[in-house]
Structure 1
């Protein structure tokens, strides 16, 4: 049940509270708290443990999976040029998934108790505490729930000779995405591509959260017209 004029107590676990904000949730969650100390989400220690992930767990867990899928095409004798093309194609396809997930799922509008609660777990906690270093990458258990059905979808819709490596490319794109996401929050680039990516993403957090959905690039923002407007100061 949504409680009118509910005030969140930041000293208590947040997941059980945010649903009560109702229509005020959208404004509350986009007022960031800039601190490297993350909030407690659950009272239960086990649930709380699974909300925290160190960034280096992502390549350690998923790179061997990428290699295994690519090896399946190698074992089938698929030409190396075709393997390379499938891998690049999978990476490029991931950039579209990245954009779509971020724009249409992570930024869905909610105002009910369960909608607010689920959104907060999925992405809202990141916007409220954008510098929480243990909640910048997707927990492996949650990622598995997306990866498994995605593999079967790709297996059903692409030729068997390219499906494993194409899927490996999608996973590799995901690894690049999560590591890039961590870096643009905690890295300190001075110039070049990495500096531009950091400025672009910080702009999404601190100036205009309904634009600039790309993380690894702004390509799809250009294609779909969601680039943020020009400003003299693009980030904090």
Structure 2
């Protein structure tokens, strides 16, 4: 059988074969044959904070020029709320795309299923700059059309702050022992999603939309990390 010209045999075997049990010590397989393409699928855990700290500050500064403090805070909070909705539906609707065809099986594995096979793989724990940048541009376009040029900047700042909180909550769920009650609760929910019920607890930084759409589970996590 001829090898795929772009994808590695390892990722095809993992995506199209029997679903592997989660292995906390495993690394996800290489996805692409070209080193540059493969490099773009990996990111250091600190990269989101280094990448988005300055744009958030710039968005807040632009927002402060057009809005007083109460309105600025309201728009930032609104952007954060929108992020929690985007986070929930990305995870539920796209990351857990039903793998009903070989193409979907490969796509779903590369997009997200690899994380369930190797949940502690640090290289693929946070979104790459390519992914987060594309989503930020999409949100900016939506905010521009829906709220106008002046409101788009604080809205985007709120969404980006929410995104960084999401990455922090996800990192702490897999590679930390949160000390706060909120951190422990978010970690328990995410472990439950990994080890007890993949069809529930899609929100990582907030349980809000799981409660709204009735995908919140109260079952205990099957195991700890």
Shared topology, TM-score over 0.5? yes
Counterpart position of 1:127: 116
- Residue 221 of structure 1 is matched in structure 2 by 210
Deviations 1:158-178, CA, capped at 9 Å, x for gaps:
133322101111111111111
The answer as to 2:155 corresponding to 1:166 is: yes
> TM-score if structure 1 supplies the norm length?
0.84
Unaligned runs of at least 5 residues, structure 2: 2-7
State the Cα distance separating 1:191 from its structure 2 match: 5.7
Aligned equivalents of 1:168, 1:189: Cα separation in 2:
25
Aligned residue for 1:15? Answer: 11
Say which SS state the counterpart of residue 221 (structure 1) adopts.
helix
**1:65-115 deviation line (CA, Å, top 9, x unaligned):** 111112112233x11111111111111111111111111111110132221
In 2, are the aligned partners of 1:18 and 1:116 still within 8 Å (CA)? no
Residues of 1 paired with 2:30 and 2:149: CA distance?
A: 45
1:161 is paired with a residue whose SS is: helix
The corresponding residue for 1:75 is 65
Q: How many residues align?
A: 218
What's 1:207 paired with? 196
CA gap of 1:235–1:220, structure 2 versus 1, over 3 A, is farther
**SS of the counterpart of 2:96?**
coil
Note the C-alpha offset of 1:190: 5.3
SS of equivalent to 1:162: helix
- Cα distance in 1 for partners of 2:180, 2:53 equals 28
The structural deviation recorded for 1:134 is: 1.3
| 1:137 and 1:179 in contact (8 A); partners too | no
Give the match's secondary structure for 1:138.
coil
1:188 aligns with 2:177: yes
What are the within-5 Å matches in structure 2 for residues 7-46 of structure 1?
14-21=10-17, 28=19, 31-35=21-25, 37-46=27-36
List gaps (5 residues or longer) in structure 1.
Answer: 2-11
1:56 equivalent in alignment to 2:52: no
Distance in 1 (CA, whole Å) between partners of 2:9 and 2:133 is: 25
Give me the whole-angstrom Cα distance separating, in 2, the residues matched to 1:88 and 1:190. Answer: 25
Q: Which residue does 1:7 correspond to in 2?
A: none
Contact 2:95 2:112 survives alignment (8 Å): yes
Q: Is the 8 A contact 1:70 1:165 kept in 2?
A: yes
Say if 1:50 and 1:13 are closer, same or farther in 2 by CA, change over 3 A.
Answer: farther
Report how far residue 136 of structure 1 moved: 0.9
Q: Check conservation: 1:199, 1:235, Cα contact below 8 A.
A: no
Residue aligning to 1:90:
79
The residue that corresponds to 1:111 in the other structure is 100
Provide the rounded CA distance (Å) in 2 between the counterparts of 1:53 and 1:206. 24
Matched, 1:235 2:223: yes
Q: Do the aligned partners of residues 182 and 85 (structure 1) sit closer, same or farther apart at CA in structure 2, a change above 3 Å counting?
A: same
Mean CA deviation greater in 144-153 or 92-101:
144-153
Instruction: Mark the CA change 1:47 to 1:13 in structure 2 (over 3 Å): closer, same or farther.
Output: farther
Q: Alignment partner of 1:134: what SS? A: helix
Give the structure 1 partner of residue 91 of structure 2.
Answer: 102
